[in-house]
């Protein structure tokens, strides 16, 4: 039985005799010496991770202006920061996007620019009060000029994360990157063998007050992260650190095409080896950590799992799906994760960083719940029009025009002799044909690629498809491609108007 205290380890850090290794090195040491031997040999194991952490942001205190202002809204380089607290405090979140540049620039970029020493434009407005008379303020500030710039991230360093793929026929753009059609690739995130929480999954040493590596400087874990779901192996942590001491090597703004901005952040947690159980836990390898590959092509909270994989398989460069080798990409950087574990190891070996025991450990066996929705989830069948007028593909343009005039429907689904959907024709298509002096059949001028929906789809999902494909109505079809209804953007606006 090995039993060490934090105090003993810290005195070894102080006198330079501490034995510290990275979580990758620890795998071999436990393999050679066993957990007990390794626990005697090693005092601290360092971990590291570097990846997209959307739930990141910084509390800034700007100091008071003359005359003073109580900021009601504040923008940094056109990115809104939250200032619903005291007069000149604001939280700039990583994923907030610019009012003018959209997804090309966001809170994450403001944060990186500040660390790089660049000045940012501050614009604030207020309604003015007796104690804070100013209504508008414009100035430029650098990180130096702020009283405090404290990174405070509600949820970072997922223990592990789902891998992503896409079963649909077109590329989708997600926070897991571009996912190619028909299971064309798999992306994943997380440092596996080096992952902080995976190296102490029972949180024997991790919790409120744990001193960590954050963005290139010392930071702290302040408690469990939001959505902490340790029961399923998806623990997270809330962290804090001084932005003024951070380095752009470990804090980098990112853009995910079609999704928005995020912050890549480097973090490392030291794990003091107090006994052999802890030593054993830090021997975890990529092959021991499993996760699911989820189908991001399904626009639902409950994305179906395509299969289970280990991080070792993901890291190998390809995984098998339905008998095919599908290439994998990591969205996080393993190389940087390694650099972080090594840098933290050096700090400890040099006597610059001391380990700590948490005031309270992260909670175990809790799970995050899905949202309670009181409005119910509207389905297409709830709001679609069921009396639909269709037209045969062999009908004349004149017939189509007459049907539109008689029925007041703007969109006519076109069907073949078996009543199956083959196209769609609108009043505009007809006007266009007439203006070009074309008097052909409906099938000659109809749009053949019809955007459709099915009755059991969720309205919110269908609304997004209408937006993306710029259509204002869609035939609702059954499995046999028979038209059973019609849903229009008007129906959808009415639904949401009723609710708001």
Partner 1 sequence: MKIKINISSDILTKPIMAEAILETGVLLNISQAHFDRSHGEVVADVEKDKFELMCKALMDRGAKVTKLDTPIRWDENECVECSACISVCPTKVFALADDFSLEVDETKCIQCATCVDMCPHNALSLENNK
Closer residue to partner 1 in complex, CB, 92/331 = 331
Contact with partner 1 (CB under 8 A): which of 210, 330, 356, 390?
A: 330
Q: Look at the block and give the residue holding tokens 């229009």.
A: 488
Contact with partner 1 (CB under 8 A): which of 62, 158, 161, 256?
A: 256
Instruction: Tell me if 191 contacts partner 1 by CB under 8 A.
Output: no
Subset of residues 346 to 365 that bind partner 1, contact rule: CB under 8 A:
none
Q: Closest separation between CB of residue 262 and partner 1, Å?
A: 7
Distance between CA atoms of residues 345 and 328, nearest Å: 30
Distance between CA atoms of residues 401 and 364, nearest Å: 67
Contact with partner 1 (CB under 8 A): which of 3, 7, 335, 499?
A: 335
Q: Closest separation between CB of residue 331 and partner 1, Å?
A: 5
CB distance 26 to 173 below 8 Å: no
Instruction: Tell me if 93 contacts partner 1 by CB under 8 A.
Output: no
Q: Closest separation between CB of residue 296 and partner 1, Å?
A: 14
Q: Of 250, 351, 362, nearest to 44 (Cα)?
A: 351
Instruction: Tell me if 50 contacts partner 1 by CB under 8 A.
Output: yes
Q: Which stretch binds partner 1 (CB under 8 A): 45-53, 113-121, 416-424, 426-434?
A: 45-53
b/e per residue 371-393 (b: at least 16 CB within 10 A): eeeeeeebbbbebbeeebebbbb
Q: Which stretch binds partner 1 (CB under 8 A): 66-74, 132-140, 145-153, 333-341?
A: 333-341
Contact with partner 1 (CB under 8 A): which of 48, 51, 223, 272?
A: 51
Please give the DSSP secondary-structure letter assigned to residue 482. B
Instruction: Tell me if 255 contacts partner 1 by CB under 8 A.
Output: yes
Instruction: Tell me if 345 contacts partner 1 by CB under 8 A.
Output: no
Distance between CA atoms of residues 328 and 348, nearest Å: 35
Q: Closest separation between CB of residue 104 and partner 1, Å?
A: 9
CB distance 165 to 303 below 8 Å: no
CB distance 27 to 285 below 8 Å: yes
Closer residue to partner 1 in complex, CB, 221/265 = 265
Question: How many C-beta atoms lie closer than 10 Å to residue 150's C-beta?
Answer: 17
Closer residue to partner 1 in complex, CB, 46/224 = 46
Cα 351 to Cα 11, 26, 228, 244, distances in angstroms: 10, 20, 32, 22
Q: Closest separation between CB of residue 327 and partner 1, Å?
A: 4
Q: Of 157, 200, 185, 188, nearest to 290 (Cα)?
A: 188
Cα 143 to Cα 123, 245, 252, 254, 318, distances in angstroms: 16, 10, 16, 20, 43
Distance between CA atoms of residues 238 and 213, nearest Å: 13
Closer residue to partner 1 in complex, CB, 215/358 = 215
Closer residue to partner 1 in complex, CB, 67/317 = 317
Instruction: Tell me if 454 contacts partner 1 by CB under 8 A.
Output: no
Closer residue to partner 1 in complex, CB, 68/184 = 184
Q: Name, in order, each residue with C-beta under 8 angstroms of 421's C-beta and a sequence gap of 6 or more.
A: 413, 414, 415, 450, 452, 475, 477, 481, 482, 483
List the catalytic residues.
131
Subset of residues 52 to 91 that bind partner 1, contact rule: CB under 8 A:
52
Judged by CB under 8 A, the number of residues near partner 1 is 31
Q: Which stretch binds partner 1 (CB under 8 A): 92-100, 144-152, 302-310, 335-343?
A: 335-343
Closer residue to partner 1 in complex, CB, 48/272 = 48
Q: What percent helix, strand, coil does the chain show, rounded to 5?
A: 25, 35, 40
Q: Closest separation between CB of residue 314 and partner 1, Å?
A: 11
Q: Closest separation between CB of residue 218 and partner 1, Å?
A: 22
Closer residue to partner 1 in complex, CB, 91/259 = 259
Which x/- pattern over 117-156 shows residues binding partner 1 (rule: CB under 8 A)?
Answer: ----------------------------------------
b/e per residue 255-274 (b: at least 16 CB within 10 A): bbeebbbbbbbbbbbbbbbb
Q: Of 215, 181, 211, nearest to 359 (Cα)?
A: 211
Q: Closest separation between CB of residue 202 and partner 1, Å?
A: 29
Instruction: Tell me if 159 contacts partner 1 by CB under 8 A.
Output: no
Cα 138 to Cα 65, 77, 219, distances in angstroms: 10, 11, 32
Instruction: Tell me if 177 contacts partner 1 by CB under 8 A.
Output: yes
Q: Closest separation between CB of residue 366 and partner 1, Å?
A: 30
Instruction: Tell me if 180 contacts partner 1 by CB under 8 A.
Output: yes
Q: What is the DSSP string of 37-92?
A: HHHHH-SEEE--EEEE-SS-EEEEE----SS----SEEEETTEEEB--SSTTEEEE
Closer residue to partner 1 in complex, CB, 75/259 = 259
Question: What are the residues binding partner 1 (CB under 8 A)?
Answer: 50-52, 173, 177-178, 180, 184-187, 252, 254-258, 262, 264, 317, 327-336, 338
């Amino acid at each position: 039985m090995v039993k060490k205290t934090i105090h003993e380890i810290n005195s070894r850090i102080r006198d330079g005799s501490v034995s510290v290794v990275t979580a990758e090195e620890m795998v071999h040491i436990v393999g050679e010496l066993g957990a007990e031997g390794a626990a005697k040999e090693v005092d601290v194991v360092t971990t590291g991770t570097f990846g997209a952490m959307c739930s990141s942001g910084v509390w800034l205190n700007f100091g008071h202006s003359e005359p003073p202002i109580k900021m009601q809204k504040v923008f940094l380089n056109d990115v809104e920061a939250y200032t619903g607290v005291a007069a000149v405090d604001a939280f700039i979140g990583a994923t907030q996007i610019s009012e003018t540049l959209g997804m090309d620039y966001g809170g994450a970029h403001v944060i990186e620019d500040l660390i790089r020493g660049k000045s940012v434009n501050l614009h604030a407005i207020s309604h003015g009060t007796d104690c804070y008379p100013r209504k508008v303020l414009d100035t430029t500030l650098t990180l130096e000029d702020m009283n405090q710039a404290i990174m405070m991230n509600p949820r970072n360093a997922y223990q592990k994360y789902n891998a992503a793929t896409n079963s649909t026929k077109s590329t989708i753009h997600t926070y897991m990157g571009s996912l190619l059609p028909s299971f064309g690739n798999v992306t994943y995130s997380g440092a596996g063998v080096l992952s902080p929480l995976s190296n102490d999954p029972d949180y024997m040493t991790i919790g409120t007050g744990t001193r960590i590596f954050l963005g290139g400087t010392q930071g702290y874990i302040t408690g469990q992260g939001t959505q902490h779901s340790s029961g399923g192996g998806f623990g997270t942590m809330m962290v804090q650190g001084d932005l003024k001491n951070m380095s752009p090597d470990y804090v980098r703004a990112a853009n995910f095409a079609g999704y928005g901005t995020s912050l890549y952040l480097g973090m490392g947690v030291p794990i003091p080896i107090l006994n052999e159980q802890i030593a054993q836990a830090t021997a975890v390898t990529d092959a021991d950590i499993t996760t699911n590959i989820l189908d991001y092509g399904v626009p639902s909270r409950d994305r179906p799992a395509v299969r289970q994989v280990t991080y070792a398989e993901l890291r190998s460069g390809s995984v098998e799906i339905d008998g095919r080798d599908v290439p994998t990409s990591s969205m996080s950087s393993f190389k940087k994760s390694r650099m972080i574990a090594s840098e933290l190891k050096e700090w400890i070996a040099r006597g610059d960083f001391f380990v700590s025991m948490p005031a309270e450990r992260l909670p175990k066996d809790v799970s995050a719940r899905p949202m309670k929705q009181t409005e119910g989830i509207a389905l297409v069948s709830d709001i679609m029009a069921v009396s639909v007028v269709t037209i045969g593909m062999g009908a004349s343009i004149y017939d189509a025009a007459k049907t539109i005039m008689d029925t007041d429907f703007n969109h006519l689904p076109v069907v073949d002799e078996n009543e199956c959907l083959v196209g769609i024709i609108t009043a505009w298509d007809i006007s266009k044909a007439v203006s070009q002096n074309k008097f052909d059949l409906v099938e000659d001028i109809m749009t053949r690629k019809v955007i459709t929906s099915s009755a059991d789809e969720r309205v919110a999902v269908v609304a997004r498809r209408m937006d993306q494909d710029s259509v204002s109505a869609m035939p609702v079809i059954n499995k046999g491609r028979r038209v059973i209804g019609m849903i229009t953007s008007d129906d959808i606006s009415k639904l949401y108007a009723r609710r708001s």
